[in-house]
């Protein structure tokens, strides 16, 4: 069974009287352990696609099967549970809670699946170790560099043993050197732990880390291929 199966997914937004087709009949499959870059100009539908993959949004028509479950039929809370267990989000702006230590930020997803405090702490420390930040556990986001904050966010995405990491321009706010470090981390996670990584990017440098590039234009997939290697 494929990890992700998208069948004729369309998404229509209503903007006043006008219907905007953000996605038109997108069909594709993603296997476990893939490393995918999603590219396309703004307005191409890639963000909408990522929101649907992340169970933050439902397709207007078509089916999105995640591990064989038709996500479109689930309730708000059921979607929240799936996001909690199967999906880890990494955002361009890091989206850590301010005034909250790195450790507690990483613990956050486990607050919502009822793990006891001790186990939460332990797993959060492990996740921080995976991203090489165990010494920064008590620091608040404001005391961390951009790269460190992004690594805390990745630890938070990992901590519930997510099957998929969805990263929306994860290096958009970082310099080239730090971007490379973050991408190495994704590669390591993808290879070592067989986590499926799907990231949105504008830069072909970043896309080059992946093993498959999906390009969007006007709500459709126009190319689905291996990246251009340097």
Partner 1 sequence: MINIPSTLKIALRALKVNKMRSALTMLGIIIGVGAVITMLAVGRGASQKISEQIASIGSNLIMILPGATTAGGLRMGAGTQPTLSVADAEAIKKECPAVSDVAPDLSGGAQIVYGNQNWSTVVRGTTPGILTVRDWPLALGRSFTEQDVKGASKVCLLGQTVVENLFRDMDPVGRILRIKKLPFTVIGVLTKKGQSPQGQDQDDIIYVPVTTAQKKLFGTAFPGMVRIIMVKAMSPEALDPAEKQITALLRQRHRIGPKQEDDFTVRNLTQMMQTQEQAAKVMSLLLGAIASVSLLVGGIGIMNIMLVSVTERTREIGIRMAIGAKTWDIRLQFMIEALTLSLTGGVAGIILGLGGSKILSVLAGWSTIVSPLSILLAFGFSGLVGIFFGFYPAYKASLLNPIEALRYE
Sites of contact with partner 1 (CB under 8 A):
51, 54, 56-57, 76-77, 80-81, 83-85, 89, 91, 95-97, 99-100, 108-109, 111-114, 117, 156, 160
9 and 185 Cβ atoms separated by less than 8 Å: no
CB closer to partner 1, 48 vs 201: 48
Q: Report the candidate in 192, 203, 97, 209 with the shortest Cα–Cα distance to residue 153.
A: 97
Closest distance of CB 154 from partner 1, Å: 13
CB closer to partner 1, 120 vs 136: 120
Rounded distance, CA 167 to CA 199, Å? Answer: 4
User: Which long-range contacts does 114-121 make (Cβ < 8 Å, 24+ apart)?
Assistant: none
Closest distance of CB 96 from partner 1, Å: 8
CB closer to partner 1, 69 vs 111: 111
User: Which long-range contacts does 222-226 make (Cβ < 8 Å, 24+ apart)?
Assistant: 224/28
CB closer to partner 1, 14 vs 230: 14
Contacts of 178 (CB under 8 A, 6+ apart): 145, 146, 147, 150, 171
Closest distance of CB 83 from partner 1, Å: 5
CB closer to partner 1, 113 vs 145: 113
Closest distance of CB 205 from partner 1, Å: 26
Token pair listed for 133: 């930040």
Closest distance of CB 199 from partner 1, Å: 16
């Amino acid at each position: 069974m494929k990890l992700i199966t998208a069948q004729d997914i369309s998404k229509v937004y209503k903007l006043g009287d006008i219907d905007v087709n953000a996605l038109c009949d997108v069909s594709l499959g993603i296997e476990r352990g893939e490393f995918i870059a999603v590219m396309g100009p703004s307005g191409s539908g890639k963000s909408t696609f990522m929101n649907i993959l992340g169970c933050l949004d439902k397709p207007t028509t078509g089916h999105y099967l995640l591990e064989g479950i038709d996500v479109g039929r689930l309730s708000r809370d059921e979607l929240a549970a799936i996001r909690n267990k199967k999906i880890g989000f990494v955002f361009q702006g890091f989206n850590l809670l301010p005034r909250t230590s790195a450790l507690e930020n990483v613990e956050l997803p486990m607050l919502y699946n009822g793990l006891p405090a001790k186990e939460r702490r332990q797993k959060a420390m492990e996740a921080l170790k995976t991203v090489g930040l165990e010494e920064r556990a008590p620091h608040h986001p404001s005391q961390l560099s951009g790269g460190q904050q992004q690594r805390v966010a990745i630890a938070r995405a990992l901590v519930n043993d997510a099957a998929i990491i969805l990263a929306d321009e994860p290096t958009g706010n970082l310099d080239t050197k730090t971007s490379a470090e973050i991408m190495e981390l994704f590669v390591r996670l993808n290879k070592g732990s067989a986590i499926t990584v799907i990231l949105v990017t504008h830069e072909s440098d970043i896309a080059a880390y992946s093993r498959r590039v999906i390009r969007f234009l006007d709500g459709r997939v126009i190319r689905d291929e291996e990246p251009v290697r340097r």
